[in-house]
Amino acid sequence: MTPTRASEREVAIRAVRAAATACRSVQKGYLAKGTLEKKDKSPVTVADFASQAIICASLEVALPDDPIVGEEDADTLRLDEQETIRNAVVQHVRTVIGDDLSDDQVLGWIDRGGSTGAEGRYWTLDPIDGTKGFLRMEQYAIALALIEDNQVILGVLGCPNLMSNDSIGSLFVAERGQGTLLLPLTDEGTSPGKRIRVSQIVSPADARFCESVESGHSNQNTAQKIARRLGITAESLRMDSQCKYATVAQGSAQIYLRVPTSAVYREKIWDHAAGMLVVEEAGGKVTDVIGRPLDFTHGRQLEKNSGIVATNGLIHNSVVDAVRQELAPK
């Protein structure tokens, strides 16, 4: 049976909510001793692995033919010296899915994220976007997006620590051509959600920046210069993860800027696919720093793009012009 867009949406929502349950559980009881370091020195936690396993398992049951482009793999967990962390990952997945799971099942689900993407239909997943924010007990996101023929058509962002509608924990769901909905993260289908829209600010000088906490993720000195070019005086809102996209989508900020820190670095598709659609379907606009649409035709990276500019749309051209001027050779 061919899946409907509604069924795909419900599968994605349930998967992200289930993963969020595991992530919160890890934060409560296993955070300090459950972290590894990748080759690029970035951290990866028990929650990263458990979240990816849970979401990949959910997609495997409902949509078994769909490839998944995920951030993590289970190679490190298979090492003898990582037995303690491997056991913790398996236990957290069992708590959410079922007690009768084997280690190999859980590790296999993590490895389902090994697709290269680039063609046809596939999902892209960041099981915890903003791991350093997660470790600081601040903002992080669980980001899942469906891509068909190089176009993002469904995006789900779970933001466990983001306050919305007077509750902690927010779920943003965007469908191509259908708008963006805000739902409670822990709701099990009883809420229809609230349609959200970007801010209607039309003067760049009245806007507020949203940018990364980590200076290694975006050139913050250049961002400050761009803000001055635009006449912006408001202090920037700094947070980790694709929660920045959600913040622009619901109008709490008008600009998310990710200025490249390296001429050769390319963004990963899982870091932007879901958030991009959340902003666009809320009425905003997302391009790279020279105004090109994000190009998902090159596998796991945005090979033809550099940096990110996400805005409420009304001030997008002005922001891109300011970025171009600041980045132009002096």
What are the structural domain ranges in the chain?
5-195, 204-327
The pLDDT value recorded for residue 24 is: 93
Q: Which CATH class is domain 204-327?
A: alpha beta
Residue 123 corresponds to which tokens in the numbers above? 């999902």
Contacts 24+ apart (CB under 8 A), 101-107: 106/53, 107/53, 107/74, 107/77, 107/78
User: What is the side-by-side strand order in the sheet with 209-211?
Assistant: 237-238, 209-211, 255-258, 308-311, 285-287
The pLDDT value recorded for residue 156 is: 98
Whether 246 shows a pLDDT value over 90: the answer reads yes
- Nearest-angstrom CA–CA distance, 9 and 13: 6
- 3-class SS at 184? strand
Whether 266 shows a pLDDT value over 60: the answer reads yes
Answer whether 298's CB lies under 8 Å from 327's CB: no
Residue 208 corresponds to which tokens in the numbers above? 């507020």
Spatial CA neighbour of 244 closest among 290, 297, 310, 293:
310
The residues annotated with a catalytic role in the active site are 48, 131
The pLDDT value recorded for residue 287 is: 98
The pLDDT value recorded for residue 189 is: 59
The pLDDT value recorded for residue 42 is: 61
The pLDDT value recorded for residue 103 is: 96
The pLDDT value recorded for residue 79 is: 95
What is the pLDDT averaged over residues 51-77?
96
The pLDDT value recorded for residue 188 is: 62
User: How many residues in total does the chain contain?
Assistant: 330
Whether 194 shows a pLDDT value over 90: the answer reads yes
Owner of token pair 């296993």: 30
Phi, psi of 161 (to 5 degrees): -110, 10
The pLDDT value recorded for residue 117 is: 78
What is the pLDDT averaged over residues 257-267?
89
Confidence bin at 163 (pLDDT 50/70/90):
confident
Whether 93 shows a pLDDT value over 60: the answer reads yes
Answer whether 145's CB lies under 8 Å from 274's CB: yes
Percent of the chain with pLDDT over 90: 77
As its CATH architecture, domain 5-195 has 2-Layer Sandwich (3.30)
What is the pLDDT averaged over residues 83-102?
94
